[in-house]
Amino acid sequence: MPANLDRFTCDIGFPVGCIGVTSSNEVVLGGGGGPGGSGVKNKLSVYKVDKERQDLDEVSTITLSSNEDAPTCLAVHPKEKTIVSSVNVDKERIEKGENANCRVFKLAKKGIQAGKAAKTMLSTDDMDYQKTIAIEPHGRLVANGSSDGTLAVVEYPSLKPAFPFVEASGEINDVDFNASGKWLVVATDHELKVLASKDGSSVQNIDKPHTTSGEQAVFRSSRFGRAKEQLMGFKAQQKTPVMLKDVLYTVLNTRSRKQAYIAMWNTQTWQRITTRPVCRSAITTFAVSNKGRLLAFATASLQIGICDAHTLRVLVRIPAAHSFAITCAGV
């Protein structure tokens, strides 16, 4: 990937809280002003990227209630023209335990259509929200991780619980399914839980996050590899060949927030393959490309970086990419 990567910025008219990229390279954005009288509408919108004009062309949009929260996370369904997003209802219903926050939206020719909704949080505090969401590669399960430490896995399209709620060790920063859909990783600051997606039983726990020098850190994100190709960057270090789809990437922010690392784990042996420093600032968001060959991250210093999934080498750095904190990324 060339260092002079073409890039451009667009004003879409509302604060973006979540982002997704479809298989046809359309961009899905969710956000808004939240509940109250800010005057900024809560929306989910789909755009086509016009590279020649360096602009985003709106394909469809849905305006959500101004009494409810803005979308806080979303995931694009791998098999259907559908997205699943979390949108908190109004404060009164949350306090009654009626927060049907997990919502399905169909990306139809006539626009975005709201579908089923289900409760995937236990909290009755309107300050809690769903931080992260992932859809199993075959599209049959949706994992939801919240600020109250609740993990909810529901079946798709019914949104019925696949197994009971799981209580994590703290706020859930990230969730992701592996390529086969058999495993689910849940990341909190202090722990990674790998669970069997069929019943929530434990597969592996990784705790006490630290760098190779022993410095204490926190887990900011964790994503499984996607590509069905052999890992090349550290081939000589592995006794048997490792496929990228069998790699688990974890983002480590030092407690000082002055350095961030990406670690690679071999999920066949649960041994750490390597840990590489990638920036001198805390990472705020992390993503793996649909084809699994690129990793993207954004930092507290407003930098965007793109890495090679094989070597963790940073291919592109975009300094001062935004004027506000970057909370979501899609690649």
Q: Same domain for 31 and 159? A: yes
Q: Decide if 144 is inside a domain.
A: yes
Q: Same domain for 125 and 270? A: no
Non-local (6+) Cβ contacts of 269 within 8 A are none
C-alpha pair distances (Å), 225 with each of 77, 244, 289: 18, 5, 9
Q: Decide if 4 is inside a domain.
A: no
Tens of pLDDT, residue by residue, the chain (331 residues): 445 567 888 999 999 999 999 989 999 999 999 998 678 999 999 999 999 999 999 999 999 999 999 999 999 999 999 999 999 999 999 999 999 999 999 998 889 999 999 999 999 999 999 999 999 999 999 999 999 999 999 999 999 999 999 999 999 999 999 999 999 999 999 999 999 999 999 999 999 999 988 899 999 999 999 999 999 877 546 678 899 999 999 999 999 988 999 999 999 999 999 999 999 999 999 999 999 999 999 999 999 999 999 999 999 999 988 888 899 999 8
As separate numbers, helices (DSSP H) first and strands (DSSP E) second, the chain gives 1, 24
Domain with residue 307: its CATH number is 2.40.10.480
Q: Decide if 311 is inside a domain.
A: yes
Q: Same domain for 94 and 197? A: yes
Q: Same domain for 20 and 136? A: yes
What gap in Å lies between CA 39 and CA 29, rounded to an integer?
18
Three-state SS across 138-192?
CCCEEEEEECCCEEEEEECCCCCECCCCEECCCCCCEEEECCCCCEEEEECCCEE
Q: Same domain for 62 and 197? A: yes
Helix (H/G/I), strand (E/B), else coil: 244: helix
Tokens for 74, please give them.
């979303």
Q: Give me the domain span that covers residue 24.
A: 9-207
Domain with residue 136: its CATH number is 2.130.10.10
pLDDT at 1: 46
Question: How many domains are contained in the chain?
Answer: 2
Q: Same domain for 195 and 47? A: yes
Q: Decide if 213 is inside a domain.
A: no
Residue 143 CB burial class (10 angstroms; 0-12, 13-18, ≥19):
buried
Q: What is the DSSP letter of 35?
A: S
Q: Decide if 218 is inside a domain.
A: no
What gap in Å lies between CA 177 and CA 159, rounded to an integer?
17
